[in-house]
Amino acid sequence: MREPRTLGEFIIEKQNDFPHASGELSSLLGSIKLAAKIVNREINKAGLVDITGAIGTENVQGEDQQKLDVYANDKFKAALEARDQVCGVASEEDDEAVVFNKQLNKNAKYVVLMDPLDGSSNIDVNVSVGTIFSIYRRISPIGTPPTEEDFLQPGNKQVAAGYVIYGSSTMLVYTTGNGVHGFTYDPSLGSFCLSHESMRQPETGTIYSVNEGHYIRFPMGVKMYIKYCQENVPNEKRPYTSRYIGSLVADFHRNLIKGGIYLYPSSQSYPEGKLRLLYEANPIAFLAEQAGGVATDGKKRILDLEPTELHQRVPFFAGSKNMMQKLHEFLETFSDN
């Protein structure tokens, strides 16, 4: 029986999928892998040490920062800066992009955008959380500090994206535009080992994921689609099953494997949507499309949206191809309501 391939071994095997990197992707993902192992260790100690709960500050979005938000943000930034492949990082937890000023970092080709700990409020109740990351080639001249233009690129310019999910097992899932591959962390080896090669999302499913507590504030097209999901039509396997964790990574990961749809529409509370385009919607959309799914803002493909600011919000819908098609039918029919 063949030994499972580690993340590093797999990337080397697939180096032709990333022709401009010449070994740099392996090192860059090695930084993410290292930080993920450190964060995973702390998450597994939650409740035993003083690492849970709010820290008493807010991030730029006005959200209460959890202790682990700050911890994860610091660890990922430090790991990315240390490897010299990244010239700057934009994070949900920082007001502005962070520029790495060492000369070796200035010579780096890549910028990283990230949500270091998605769903962190769930830590206190032992629910799955995650890290989301997005990698771009810089636009500004190599040897100079990165500029805002480097970070405000549309999602179709991503060279790699992925997430780490910290749950019953810890997994790292990534794409470079040549399929989606998942690696499960083996703590006995200290390695991420290939467990899900060439992941494909079923074209249809029976799960819909949405915070129905906000139903009254949703656009009419979304309300009607939810009612469609709840209708009793046995030969169409409806009603669908409602599953919502409140962690984008966890909800998307389940639907990626089993087939389903994730909905976070605009609402009266969040007229522009709540999820952030650059470090939540774009990387998840890249993964969704590479796995055969679809991701839009309800009208346009997420990856074609032109960013205008670092923490830009957007309505977000992602999931199985046939379910997304049906959703769009409702959104178009009730577009004026």
262 is in an annotated binding site: yes
What is the pTM for the complete model shown?
Answer: 0.94
* Residue 167 covered by a domain: yes
> Residue 88 and residue 205: Cα distance in Å, rounded?
39
On whether both 274 and 130 belong to a single domain, the answer is no
**Confidence at residue 286, expressed as pLDDT on a 0 to 100 scale:** 98
CATH code of the domain covering residue 127: 3.30.540.10
DSSP string across 52-89: -SEEEEE-TTSPEEEHHHHHHHHHHHHHHHHTSSEEEE
* Residue 2 covered by a domain: no
**Confidence at residue 25, expressed as pLDDT on a 0 to 100 scale:** 79
On whether both 13 and 95 belong to a single domain, the answer is yes
> Residue 116 and residue 41: Cα distance in Å, rounded?
15
On whether both 211 and 181 belong to a single domain, the answer is no
On whether both 217 and 173 belong to a single domain, the answer is no
* Residue 283 covered by a domain: yes
On whether both 249 and 298 belong to a single domain, the answer is yes
279 is in an annotated binding site: no
189 is in an annotated binding site: no
On whether both 252 and 329 belong to a single domain, the answer is yes
On whether both 191 and 212 belong to a single domain, the answer is no
264 is in an annotated binding site: yes
The answer to whether the beta carbons of residues 239 and 328 sit under 8 Å apart is no
115 is in an annotated binding site: yes
270 is in an annotated binding site: no
278 DSSP 8-state letter: I
117 is in an annotated binding site: yes
CATH code of the domain covering residue 271: 3.40.190.80
| Domain total of the chain | 2
Parts of the chain with a pLDDT under 50? 48-50, 53
Note the Cα 320 to chain centre separation in Å.
Answer: 17
211 is in an annotated binding site: yes
* Residue 113 covered by a domain: yes
The answer to whether the beta carbons of residues 65 and 55 sit under 8 Å apart is yes
* Residue 143 covered by a domain: yes
On whether both 176 and 213 belong to a single domain, the answer is no
Boundary-marking domain end, from 141, 171, 196: 196
274 is in an annotated binding site: yes
On whether both 165 and 248 belong to a single domain, the answer is no
Boundary-marking domain end, from 196, 231, 261: 196
* Residue 293 covered by a domain: yes
* Residue 129 covered by a domain: yes
On whether both 277 and 185 belong to a single domain, the answer is no
Q: Which domain holds residue 113?
A: 7-196
**Confidence at residue 20, expressed as pLDDT on a 0 to 100 scale:** 61
* Residue 1 covered by a domain: no
On whether both 240 and 161 belong to a single domain, the answer is no
CB atoms near residue 56 (< 10 Å): 8
280 is in an annotated binding site: yes
Boundary-marking domain end, from 175, 196, 217: 196
On whether both 275 and 307 belong to a single domain, the answer is yes
**Confidence at residue 49, expressed as pLDDT on a 0 to 100 scale:** 46
